[in-house]
Amino acid sequence: MAQILQDQIAFRRVADALLLSSGGRTVKLLVPASAVPADPAEQLGLAVPQFQDVELSPAIFRNTSPKIAEGKAAQRDLIVSASVVEALTASTSFGSAEALFASAFGVLVDDRLLSIVSATEMQTGGAIFAYRLALREPIANAP
């Protein structure tokens, strides 16, 4: 059992090193801020929703299709280290990475807001070492 745990830690460290050496960058995940239960406006649904920016690093951002048809949104991929996602889910009220990505409003990359289409785990040897987020740009922002 101890050997399996050591292997999982080793896979994550290798993945983190590869992400950093491949031009790893920092992006921001927009997640809803915690509600204030004592606030009457919050209880009535009158408060403006608040979001907090959470940094994800190391991450690799890449285009998924070389050509984009006019009027179609560009598709992008974001590969994020599982180490940072695990630390984030442990420190917030989200029970899992799936819940975190499902509740996120989007991802800020170079001041562009991209919506999350899907989130999948990347595994090897039974250990999750990264997450792949399929992102879509709004058509208005598409090149």
pLDDT in tens, 14-56: 778 877 887 778 899 998 877 667 777 766 777 667 788 889 8
**For the chain, percent of residues with pLDDT exceeding 70:** 80
pTM to 2 decimals?
A: 0.79
- Domain hosting 16: range is 2-141
46 class by beta-carbon count within 10 Å (0-12 exposed, 13-18 middle, 19+ buried): exposed
108, 30 contact by CB (below 8 A) = yes
Q: Is residue 73 scored above 80 in pLDDT?
A: no
* Helices of type H across the chain: 2-21, 40-44, 82-91, 97-103
- What CA–CA distance (Å, rounded) separates 85 from 107? 14
3-state secondary structure of 120: strand
Q: What are phi and psi of 14, to 5 degrees?
A: -65, -45
Q: Is residue 66 scored above 70 in pLDDT?
A: no
Cis upstream peptide for 138 (omega within 30°): no
Computed over every residue of the chain, the mean pLDDT equals 81
Count of domains observed in the chain: 1
In terms of Cα–Cα distance, which of 104, 102, 59 is closest to 77? 59
